[in-house]
Amino acid sequence: MRLFFLILLFLNINLAADEYNFGEGINIPHTPIYVGGYATLDYVSRADNYNRFRVDELSILSYGSNDRFSYMADFGLRDSYIKEWGSDDSSTTDSTISIERLYIDYQVNDSIRVRAGKFNTPAGYWNMEPINIFRETSSIPYTAFLVFPRFTSGLEVKYANSLYSDTEYSVVIQHNEDLDDTYNNIAIDKHYLASIEHFFSDSLKSKANIGYFFSTIDNRDYYYALLALSYEAPKYKIFAEAGSRRNETEFSVPYSFYLQGSWHLTQEHDLVTRIEAYKIDEGAFREEVVGVLGYTYRPVSPFTFKIEYRDHSYQNENQIRTSVSVMF
């Protein structure tokens, strides 16, 4: 029923709009408001005979700006349908509508922007790509969900003045429960983050993050640090991130890092490689190296088909993963 409501809402808005451009959303006539959406289907086949088909994302989003204000609202169904077979046979559905992002921006002046609501934590570079269709691979590097909470429900203040400085600064503050923790990798009710990003050139940039959060899962304080590097050329792109997380007494994640390269073979075809390594000392000990080889086909910007092979130290987790994503 909730899925039907989302589709009906989009169709009603579409009928009221003057025109529609695929992937750009619909502009509500005589307003600065746009409404669109996105969806992702994925399939995983693992070496231990586990197979899964999933409706990973199905969301309606709205965005717009007017003078100094702008907003983003992203509501959707996460894992609305999962079918598993092989080593585990099951089928589940979930029609719960969750809040992935919901925030308002206010541009105080040319240099200072304030953001309030629920948003992607501005740590590293991978986490700043909010949905599957924008990312190089369907899988997420371990660093992006082992080291820090992927979402923050609070306040961000960012200072950036490209006319006078090549460095940007931001501070994130959360002192409340998550607006909706469905999409978050770690349930939190406190989160503080300081970020410095430096632009060496139009192609090369780096970012340093230090943060603290309180996990409501185990009621513990955690501290983390992350360094990230991005280099983008016309034919290729390189990402690297390395981080660590600790609690009051020990390093729960002593290290986690990845190095990723993507090559634009043609306008529509990309090749992606990534090497990852991480160690978890908290709870069940785990340490491994993961290699990823992937391919992305993007005939038009609002549509992607991805396939990747993941080679794990734990060989029963070796897997092939495919996904199809579309924005509308």
**pLDDT, the chain, mean:** 92
Q: Once rounded to an integer, what is the mean pLDDT over residues 281-290?
A: 89
The pLDDT value given to residue 265: 96
The pLDDT value given to residue 12: 53
pLDDT tens digits for range 300-315 = 989 999 999 999 999 9
The pLDDT value given to residue 6: 47
The pLDDT value given to residue 2: 47
Domains assigned to the chain: 2-327 (2.40.160.10)
The pLDDT value given to residue 19: 66
> Could you tell me which residue, 254 or 284, shows the higher pLDDT?
254
Q: Once rounded to an integer, what is the mean pLDDT over residues 261-282?
A: 96
Whether 14 has a pLDDT exceeding 70, the answer reads: no
pLDDT tens digits for range 173-228 = 999 999 998 889 999 999 999 999 999 999 999 999 999 999 999 999 999 999 99
pLDDT tens digits for range 103-144 = 999 999 999 999 999 999 999 999 999 889 999 999 999 999
Confidence of residue 164 (pLDDT cuts 50, 70, 90): confident
Tokens standing for 179?
Answer: 């607006």
With beta carbons less than 8 A apart as the criterion, state whether 323 and 306 touch: yes
Question: What pTM was estimated for this model as a whole?
Answer: 0.90
The pLDDT value given to residue 7: 47
Distance from chain centroid for Cα 4: 26
User: How far is the C-alpha of 53 from the C-alpha of 176, rounded, in Å?
Assistant: 35
Whether 328 has a pLDDT exceeding 50, the answer reads: yes
Whether 15 has a pLDDT exceeding 80, the answer reads: no
Whether 284 has a pLDDT exceeding 90, the answer reads: no
Sign of CA dihedral 7, 9, 11, 17: negative
Terminal-residue alpha carbon distance, the chain: 21
Confidence of residue 23 (pLDDT cuts 50, 70, 90): confident
With beta carbons less than 8 A apart as the criterion, state whether 81 and 90 touch: no
